[in-house]
């Protein structure tokens, strides 16, 4: 939709650092996945969509895509969301920007949003429950308020 995210480079560096830190070696397929995510990972992407995008210009087999996404999820570099259609979708996880999603049931559109009040409410709940959060998701479903049917 938009062009390359502004913090793409930042994330790329972070990814490199964490991968190296985990004792992993660089490889063509994983690099391709990571670059693809840095470019288009702003919205929810399925493994197959990524694999398809890569297949056109080089490396990145299905297996490698799945394996890479699992690693990146493990390292907290991408965020995984399991859809009602049984397909897992992935997004770049930025260190300090939590965002969530609204699914329009009429149009199928997905809107990402950020909300400090919501984040605060979640932090409050965690405190009340006496737990430490490592991640959280908020999924909203409904229709955008319009006058027509």
Partner DNA sequence: TTATATGCAAAAGCTTTGCATGGGT
Partner DNA sequence: ACCCATGCAAAGCTTTTGCATATAA
Backbone angles phi, psi at 147, to 5 degrees: -85, -25
Total residues at interface with its own copies (CB under 8 A):
38
Of 13 and 115, which has the nearer Cβ to its own copies?
Answer: 115
Smallest gap from residue 87 Cβ to its own copies (A): 9
Q: Which of 132, 147, 148, 149 contacts its own copies by CB under 8 A? A: 132
* 67 and 78 Cβ atoms separated by less than 8 Å: no
Kind of pairing between the strands at 45-46 and 88-92: antiparallel
Interface contacts to DNA, rule CB under 7 A: 23-31, 46-48, 59-64, 66-68, 70, 86-88
Kind of pairing between the strands at 45-46 and 110-113: unpaired
131 binds its own copies (CB under 8 A): yes
How far is Cα of residue 81 from the mean position of the Cα atoms in its chain? 7
Residues of this chain, 79-108, that bind its own copies according to CB under 8 A: 80, 82-84, 86, 88, 102, 104-105
Q: Which of 130, 147, 148, 149 contacts its own copies by CB under 8 A? A: 130
CA atoms lying within 13 Å on the CB side of residue 145: 0
Q: Which tokens belong to 52?
A: 């398809």
Of 31 and 92, which has the nearer Cβ to DNA?
Answer: 31
* Number of Cβ atoms within 10 Å of the Cβ of 91: 18
The binding site for its own copies (CB under 8 A) comprises: 80, 82-84, 86, 88, 102, 104-105, 111, 113, 115, 117-118, 120-122, 124-126, 128-145
């Amino acid at each position: 939709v938009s062009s390359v995210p502004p913090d793409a480079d930042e994330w790329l560096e972070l990814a490199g650092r964490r991968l190296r830190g985990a004792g992993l070696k660089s490889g063509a397929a994983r690099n391709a996945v990571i670059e693809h995510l840095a470019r288009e990972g702003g919205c929810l992407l399925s493994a197959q969509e990524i694999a398809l995008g890569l297949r056109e210009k080089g490396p990145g087999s299905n297996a490698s895509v799945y394996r890479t996404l699992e690693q990146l999820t493990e390292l907290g570099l991408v965020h995984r969301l399991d859809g009602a259609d049984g397909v897992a979708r992935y997004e770049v996880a930025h260190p300090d920007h939590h965002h969530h999603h609204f699914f329009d049931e009429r149009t199928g559109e997905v809107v990402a949003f950020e909300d400090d009040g919501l984040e605060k409410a979640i932090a409050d709940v965690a405190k009340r429950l006496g737990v430490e959060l490592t991640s959280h998701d908020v999924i909203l479903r409904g229709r955008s308020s319009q006058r027509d049917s």
